Chain A
Amino acid sequence: KQEVTQIPAALSVPEGENLVLNCSFTDSAIYNLQWFRQDPGKGLTSLLLIQSSQREQTSGRLNASLDKSSGRSTLYIAASQPGDSATYLCAVSRNDYKLSFGAGTTVTVRA
């Protein structure tokens, strides 16, 4: 059974600092990995999707890397802003596209 772990569980940084969020998974036989953002009491917004054959994806201030062999992914958020405060979820999918989620990292960016 795939297990997804996110460290740290919570993170508080001053505005402008770079954020580094970690995700690890136990079964390297994944189809893809996604990073999502969830605001309190809301649904999920997809941030980045990395196919298993890719090493990284970038979108604006966000960059996600994937090391499938070691079962790790890292989400970098450059120059954090208070609007980046949210919970960030990592999820991996198998060939049948079912997603296995981590518990998330709750980020607070202090103005």
Chain B
Amino acid sequence: GAVVSQHPSRVICKSGTSVKIECRSLDFQATTMFWYRQFPKQSLMLMATSNEGSKATYEQGVEKDKFLINHASLTLSTLTVTSAHPEDSSFYICSATGGRVYEQYFGPGTRLTVT
């Protein structure tokens, strides 16, 4: 149980284009989902927290107009990187919580490369 999937697992896009990453909870309803970014050999940094049906809360320094988050249902959250640039290349990981909010279940991550 408690499986979280992400799609795609890898994506390469050209500078200036937008990319959408999906995060799904497969066997539970996720009231809250989190989006993280991880640069090589660095820790995961929380980007934003999203609750189903409401606007995401972004961490300080994260541009909400650049990283659009939608949590339209209890099983799906999407992160759209708009007008991507090479410095946005990173590993993006989502996590989800259900009834026990202190337990987060992590997706397998999405490797984004912007050329």
Contacts and interface: CB of A to CB of B under 8 A. Distances in A.
Interface in A22-59: 31-32, 36, 41-46, 49
Interface in A85-101: 89, 91, 93, 97-101
Judged by DSSP, the binding face of B is: strand
Given A43-B108, A43-B109, A97-B97, A102 B102 contact: no
Main secondary structure of the interface of A (DSSP, over half): strand
B109 A97 contact: no
A103 interface: yes
A89 B97 CA distance: 19
B102 A32 contact: yes
B107 A43 contact: yes
Contacts of B63: none
Interface residues of A, number: 22
Interface in B31-73: 32, 34, 41-46, 49
A97 B108 contact: no
B93 interface: yes
Given A93-B102, A97-B101, A103 B41 contact: yes
B49 to A, nearest CB: 7
Point out which of A89, A99, A100 has the most chain B C-beta atoms below 10 A from its C-beta.
A99
Nearest to A91: B44
A32 to B, nearest CB: 6
Given A32-B102, A97-B102, 6 more contacts: A4-B43, A41-B91, A43-B6, A43-B109, A97-B104, A102-B43
Interface of B: 4, 6, 32, 34, 41-46, 49, 91, 93, 95, 97, 101-109, 111
Interface of A: 4, 31-32, 36, 41-46, 49, 89, 91, 93, 97-104
6 contacts: A41-B111, A43-B109, A45-B106, A49-B103, A100-B46, A102-B43
